[in-house]
C-alpha cells in the first residue's frame, strides 16, 4: 500500500479491460464468470456513489466465436465485420448481467472524429453527462466497424485515456495481464524491477515495450504509457494493475493493491487534440 495514495474520494472512474482479460486463455471464448465479477465490482463502485465508465475491448474476439472454422485471412475489413457481430453480442452480455444487479448500461461507440471534431466532442460529452445523471454505466468501445484505431494503436488503451479526458474523470484504471510497470519486460528479463509509483510520466515514457501477452490483445506497455501521458496531464491519476483477480478494482479504490500508480500532473497548456493529431494518423 502506498501511503501517499488516497482514492477513496474519487468521483468519476474510467475502467479499461482488455481482450485478454475477458476470454479463457485455453479456448479464446468468453469467460462469463469473469465478466460477472467485473460487473459486480462496477456496481459496488456505483453503490459508493462513484460514476463509472467501462471501456471494453473484445468485440472482434467475441465476433470470432460465431465462426468455429475461422474466416481465413483476417484482413482489416474482415476484422471490422467481426466487430459488427461482436459489438452487439458483447454489449448484450453486459446489459443482461448488469440488469441482474439492478443497474442499467448503455453503449457508446467512438471514433477519432468524436474527439477531434468540436461538435462531435461536445455531443459526446453531453451524452456521457446525461448517462451519468441517469445513473447509467456507459460501455465504450471504438467503432471498429468504421474505424481501425484499436487494431493499430493498442486494445483501447489510448481510447480509455481520451474518454477520461472527455468526461473529466479523476481516475483511470487499466486492467491488463501484468502487475504494472517494470523497468524491463519481466517475461524476458529476470532482473526486471517493479515500479509502484510514477510521479512524472515523462520520466518513464520511453520504458514501454511493444510486446503483448497474446495474439488476442493488441496493446503493449507503450500504449499504456501513452494513455498515461494523456490521462495524467488531463488531470486524472492512472493505475495499471493485473486483471487476474478483479477484486483489484475495489482494492484500488481502497488503496490496498499491487499496481503502478501514475500521479496526476495536470497541465492546463497540454493540447490533447494536437497531441493526437501529431502522433496518430488513424
**Nearest-10 crossing angle of helices 272-279, 221-233:** 160
More confident call, 209 vs 34: 34
Residues 41-98 have pLDDT tens digits of: 999 999 999 999 999 988 888 898 888 788 888 888 898 899 899 999 999 999 999 9
Task: Please check whether residue 174 is in contact with residue 16, taking contact to mean a CB–CB distance below 8 angstroms.
Answer: yes
CATH number of the domain that residue 17 is part of: 3.40.1160.10
- The confidence band for 2, taking pLDDT boundaries of 50, 70 and 90, is low
| Count: domains in the chain | 1
Domain presence at residue 120: yes
Domain presence at residue 74: yes
Domain presence at residue 2: no
Residues 87-143 have pLDDT tens digits of: 999 999 999 999 999 999 999 998 878 888 899 999 999 999 999 999 999 999 887
As given in the structure block, the three cell numbers for residue 128 are: 456521457
- Torsion region of 180: left, alpha or beta (phi above 0 gives left; psi -120 to 50 gives alpha): left
Domain presence at residue 185: yes
Domain presence at residue 7: no
Query: What's the pLDDT score for residue 221?
Result: 84
**Domain of 127, in residue numbers:** 12-279
Could you tell me how many helices (H) and strands (E) the chain has, helices first?
Answer: 11, 10
Q: Report how far Cα 10 is from the mean position of its chain's Cα atoms.
A: 17
Amino acid at each position: 500500500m502506498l501511503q501517499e495514495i488516497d482514492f477513496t474520494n474519487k468521483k468519476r472512474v474510467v475502467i479499461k479491460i482488455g481482450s485478454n482479460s475477458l476470454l479463457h486463455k485455453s479456448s479464446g471464448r468468453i469467460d462469463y464468470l469473469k465478466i460477472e465479477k467485473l460487473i459486480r465490482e462496477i456496481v459496488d463502485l456505483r453503490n459508493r456513489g462513484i460514476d463509472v465508465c467501462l471501456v471494453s475491448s473484445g468485440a472482434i474476439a467475441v465476433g470470432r466465436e460465431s465462426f468455429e472454422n475461422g474466416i481465413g485471412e483476417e484482413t482489416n475489413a474482415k476484422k471490422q465485420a467481426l466487430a459488427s457481430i461482436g459489438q452487439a453480442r458483447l454489449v448484450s452480455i453486459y446489459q443482461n448481467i448488469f440488469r441482474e444487479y439492478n443497474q442499467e448500461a448503455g453503449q457508446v461507440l467512438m471514433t477519432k472524429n468524436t474527439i477531434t471534431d468540436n461538435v462531435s466532442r461536445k455531443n459526446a460529452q453531453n451524452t456521457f453527462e446525461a448517462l451519468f445523471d441517469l445513473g447509467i454505466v456507459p460501455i465504450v468501445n471504438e467503432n471498429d466497424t468504421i474505424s481501425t484505431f484499436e487494431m493499430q494503436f493498442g486494445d483501447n488503451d489510448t481510447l480509455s485515456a481520451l474518454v477520461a479526458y472527455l468526461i473529466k474523470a479523476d481516475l483511470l484504471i487499466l486492467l491488463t495481464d501484468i502487475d504494472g510497470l517494470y523497468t524491463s519486460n519481466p517475461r524476458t528479463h529476470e532482473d526486471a524491477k517493479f515500479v509502484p509509483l510514477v510521479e512524472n510520466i515523462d520520466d518513464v515514457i520511453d520504458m514501454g515495450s511493444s510486446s503483448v501477452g497474446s495474439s488476442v490483445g493488441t496493446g503493449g506497455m507503450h500504449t499504456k504509457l501513452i494513455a498515461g501521458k494523456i490521462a495524467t496531464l488531463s488531470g486524472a491519476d492512472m493505475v495499471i494493475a493485473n486483471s487476474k483477480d478483479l477484486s483489484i478494482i475495489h482494492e484500488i479504490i481502497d488503496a490496498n493493491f499491487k499496481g503502478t500508480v501514475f500521479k496526476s500532473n495536470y497541465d492546463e497548456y497540454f493540447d490533447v487534440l494536437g497531441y493526437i493529431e501529431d502522433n496518430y494518423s488513424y
